[in-house]
Amino acid sequence: MRPVYIVVNGILIFLGYLAVVNTDFDHPDTFYSVTLPLVDMVYCTYLLLLAFIEIYNNTWR
C-alpha cells in the first residue's frame, strides 16, 4: 500500500507543480487566468493536509 501511496502523491505533486508554473493572471484565456489559480489553491491545501498527515503518522505511530 505504501508504494502506491507514494506514487499517487508524487503524480499529484507534479501535476500541481505544473499548474503553479503555468498560472498567468494576465492571459486572455480563462483557463490560465481563472481555472489554474483555483487549482493552485486546492494544491496548496492538499500539500498542507499531506504534511499534517505525515507529521501525524510519524509522531503517533
Residue 24: per-residue pLDDT: 95
Q: Does the global pTM surpass 0.95?
A: no
| Residue 7, pLDDT above cutoff 90 | yes
Given pLDDT bands bounded at 50, 70 and 90, which one contains residue 1?
confident
16 C-beta neighbours (distance < 10 Å), count: 17
Measured in degrees and rounded to the nearest 5, phi and psi for residue 24 equal: -140, 110
pLDDT per residue as tens digits for the range 9-60: 999 999 999 999 999 999 999 999 999 999 999 999 999 999 999 999 999 8
* 35: containing domain: 2-60
Residue in the block written with cell 500539500 = 47
Residue 61: per-residue pLDDT: 73
Structural domain tally of the chain?
1
